[in-house]
Amino acid sequence: MLPAPRGPPILHHEVNRVQIQPASYAFQLTGEPISCQEFGHGHINTTYKITTDTGNEYVLQRINQYVFHDPVRLMANASAVTDFIRARVSDPRLALHFLPTAEGLFYYRDPQGEFWRMYEFVGGFCLDAPESPEDFYQSALAFGRFQQMLSDFPADTLYETIPEFHNTADRYRQLRESIASDPMGRLAEVGPEVEFLLSREEKATTLQTLREHGKLPVRVTHNDTKLNNVLLDKVTRRSLCVLDLDTVMPGLSVHDFGDAIRFGAATAAEDEPDTSKMGLDLEMFAAYTRGYLEAARGLEPLEIEMLPMGAYVMTMEVALRFLKDYLDGDKYFRVAYPKHNLVRSRSQMALARDMEAKWSEMDRIVAEIARQIG
């Protein structure tokens, strides 16, 4: 049994009093919680920053069970990975530190059946867009180091939190299902978008085909390498660690590279409604390529050659996922307004189109940086 919440409510509206406060007290934190703010811009879990009267800060998250069906095994993955990393770094801020509950678990299941977890907030910050190529280079180092440190992690012990997560061919199959059922009657509105995606299916499934033919090595990867999943030091702006370990699973390095480019080397936000503003920033692309190749040593020649393809495939895949969710009635990604997923999907298609136009430059940059790093 949990102790009854101590002290005054840390928040005022009902959901907070009923859910957030007991969840906060379930974990072994230092001090009494005195404030709680919504935090971050993830599309899946709900995140809060908790501050206590001793000045300690924590991140509390409610795990989205529509997306993640087994939070207990998910947390077993996340804690195994963070333990493994913690044993390899000297500065504790370079690894996440989950808090246990009184029972020694890394999750708390509340009476409503919701799952919560908490980790220490070590005083860094996250960015939704790089303010300079250096910021983006720093995030590349973080994801590259993550890849490198987990290169001897026993991949077969990881539970697949979302099976076929980056199987782009399977994503096409799922899109076709939504097109066929059109549950919200929205298909008529998205003819050009559907045509855009379907006409590029072969190219967008290149990496899945290579994976199935054993041409690309399967590694322990992060699979959600958005810039805002990297924590930077407030003072030095150097990268500390990567966050959001829900999708750490066996996967492809090129997907990790590609998703980071899609989000951080774009000239506009992921949900920019004016698609004429959306494109690929080659300077950012080069900064990330340099950081990733410096930190993730030992990539095979085909992995390096496929980095531009990784950027393209991840952009197409998420364009497809946003469109599918729009057709399905916005069940998966949190939306701020009715057509949000359609707007996101269109912006990602504009980015993919710009990548098609800049392909030879991406290839040239990758080859040049790979040659310099050796």
Size of the site for ligand GN1 (CB under 6 A): 13
Site for ligand GN1 (CB under 6 A): which residue of 46, 138, 168, 247?
247
44 binds, among Mg ion, ligand GN1, none (CB under 5 to 8 A by kind): ligand GN1
Which of 303, 317 has the CB closer to ligand GN1? 317
Instruction: Work out whether 221 is an interface residue with ligand GN1 (CB under 6 A).
Output: no
Instruction: Work out whether 256 is an interface residue with ligand GN1 (CB under 6 A).
Output: no
Contact stretch for ligand GN1 (CB under 6 A) within 16-24, 112-120, 141-149, 243-251 = 243-251
Instruction: Work out whether 226 is an interface residue with ligand GN1 (CB under 6 A).
Output: yes
Instruction: Work out whether 42 is an interface residue with ligand GN1 (CB under 6 A).
Output: yes
Site for Mg ion (CB under 5 A): which residue of 42, 71, 264, 279?
42
Site for ligand GN1 (CB under 6 A): which residue of 2, 18, 34, 67?
67
Residue found under tokens 């907030």: 121
Measured in degrees and rounded to the nearest 5, phi and psi for residue 262 equal -50, -40
Task: Give the per-residue SS3 of the chain.
Answer: CCCCCCCCCCCCCHHHHHHHHHHHHHECCCCCEEEEEECCCCCCCEEEEEEECCCCEEEEEEECCCCCCCHHHHHHHHHHHHHHHHCCCCCHHHCCCECCECCCCCCEECCCCCEEEEEECCCEECCCCCCCHHHHHHHHHHHHHHHHHCCCCCHHHCCCCCCCCCCHHHHHHHHHHHHHHCCCCCHHHHHHHHHHHHCCHHHHCHHHHHHHCCCCCCEEECCCCCHHHEEEECCCCCEEEECCHHHCEEECHHHHHHHHHHHHCECCCCCCCCHHHCCECHHHHHHHHHHHHHHCCCCCHHHHHCHHHHHHHHHHHHHHHHHHHHHHCCCCCCCCCCCHHHHHHHHHHHHHHHHHHCHHHHHHHHHHHHHHHC
Minimum Å gap between C-beta 229 and Mg ion is 5
Site for ligand GN1 (CB under 6 A): which residue of 256, 270, 272, 325?
270
Instruction: Work out whether 44 is an interface residue with ligand GN1 (CB under 6 A).
Output: yes
Instruction: Work out whether 244 is an interface residue with Mg ion (CB under 5 A).
Output: yes
Contact stretch for ligand GN1 (CB under 6 A) within 15-23, 26-34, 113-121, 242-250 = 242-250
Which of 35, 65 has the CB closer to ligand GN1? 65
Residues 6+ apart with CB under 8 A from 61: 45, 46, 47, 48, 116, 117, 118
Which of 84, 165 has the CB closer to ligand GN1? 165
Instruction: Work out whether 179 is an interface residue with ligand GN1 (CB under 6 A).
Output: no
Instruction: Work out whether 43 is an interface residue with ligand GN1 (CB under 6 A).
Output: yes
Which of 246, 303 has the CB closer to ligand GN1? 246
Instruction: Work out whether 281 is an interface residue with Mg ion (CB under 5 A).
Output: no
Contact stretch for ligand GN1 (CB under 6 A) within 40-48, 132-140, 168-176, 287-295 = 40-48
Residues engaged in binding ligand GN1 (CB under 6 A):
42-44, 67, 224, 226, 229, 244, 246-247, 259, 270, 318
Binding positions for Mg ion, rule: CB under 5 A: 42, 229, 244
